[in-house]
Amino acid sequence: MQMGENARRLLDDPVLHLALDRIQAKLAETWRNTAFAEAEQREAAYRLHWAVEEFRSELRQMVGSARAIEARARMQERDAA
């Protein structure tokens, strides 16, 4: 559950959000402005952009898993009482 709380803190951190948003904006700009012949550079920018989204998604999944565990624990406590 601690991991879920830590993930929530990261998701709520405005500095982290700003940094990730800036990274993604730069990457999107890179792939939009590459010449047709620069496919490798465009693909690299896309993969990095996708990796940032995967990072955010993983944090959301950690939070969701922690919530599910907490809910099950509360149900078990109620059932035991």
CB 63 within 8 Å of CB 7: yes
Query: Each residue of 26-75: pLDDT tens digit?
Result: 999 998 999 989 999 999 999 999 999 999 999 999 998 888 777 787 78
Using a 10 angstrom Cβ sphere, with 0-12 exposed, 13-18 middle and 19 or more buried, the burial of residue 35 is exposed
The whole-angstrom separation of Cα 69 and Cα 36 is 49
Work out the pLDDT band at 10, boundaries 50, 70, 90. very high
Q: Give the pTM.
A: 0.76
State residue 60's pLDDT score.
Answer: 93
CB 49 within 8 Å of CB 32: no
Question: Which residues neighbour 62 within 8 Å (Cβ) at sequence distance 6 or greater?
Answer: 3, 4, 7
